[in-house]
Structure 1
Amino acid sequence: MANVLLVEDEADLLHALEALLILEGHNVRTAENGAEALHAVSQAVPDIVVTDAVMPGMDGIRLVRELRAAPLLAHIPVILTSAINVPRDLPVFAFLHKPFSAIELVGLINRLLL
Structure 2
Amino acid sequence: MANVLLVEDDANLLQALGTVLVLEGHHVRRAENGTEALNATSVEAPDIIVTDVMMPGMDGIALVRALRAMPLLAHIPVIMTTAINVPHVLPVQAFLRKPFSEVELVDLIDRLLA
Equivalent residue, structure 1, for 2:70? 70
Structure 2 equivalent of residue 54 of structure 1:
54
Name 1:86's counterpart in structure 2. Answer: 86
- In 1: Cα distance, 2:106 partner to 2:2 partner: 11
Separation in 2 of the partners of 1:44 and 1:33? 17
Aligned-partner Cα distance in 2 for 1:19–1:34: 21
Q: Which residue of 2 aligns with 1:36?
A: 36
> Where does structure 1 differ by over 2 angstroms across 4 or more consecutive aligned residues?
none
2:41 is paired with a residue whose SS is helix
Distance 2:28 2:3 in 1: 6
Tell me which amino acid in the other structure corresponds to 1:111.
R
Alpha-carbon offset, residue 105 of structure 1: 0.3
TM-score (norm 2): 0.99
**Which ranges of structure 1 fall in alignment gaps of 5 or more residues?**
none
What is the RMSD of the two structures over their aligned residues, measured on CA atoms?
0.3
| Alignment-mate amino acid for residue 97 of structure 2 | H
Compute the displacement of 1:28 (Å). 0.2
Determine what percentage of the aligned residue pairs are the same residue: 72
| SS of match in other structure, 1:86 | coil
What is the distance in 2 between the residues matched to 1:86 and 1:41?
A: 24
Residue 27 (str. 1) matches residue 23 (str. 2): no
Aligned pair count reads: 114
| Separation in structure 1 between the aligned mates of residue 12 and residue 72 of structure 2, nearest angstrom | 32
Task: Report the 3-state secondary structure (helix = DSSP H, G, I; strand = E; otherwise coil) of the residue aligned with 2:74.
Answer: coil
State how far apart, in whole Å, the 1-side matches of 2:51 and 2:65 are: 12
- TM-score, scaled to structure 1: 0.99
Residue number in structure 1 paired with 2:103: 103
How big is the shift at 1:87?
1.2
Give the Cα–Cα distance (whole angstroms) in 1 for the partners of residues 91 and 14 of structure 2.
23
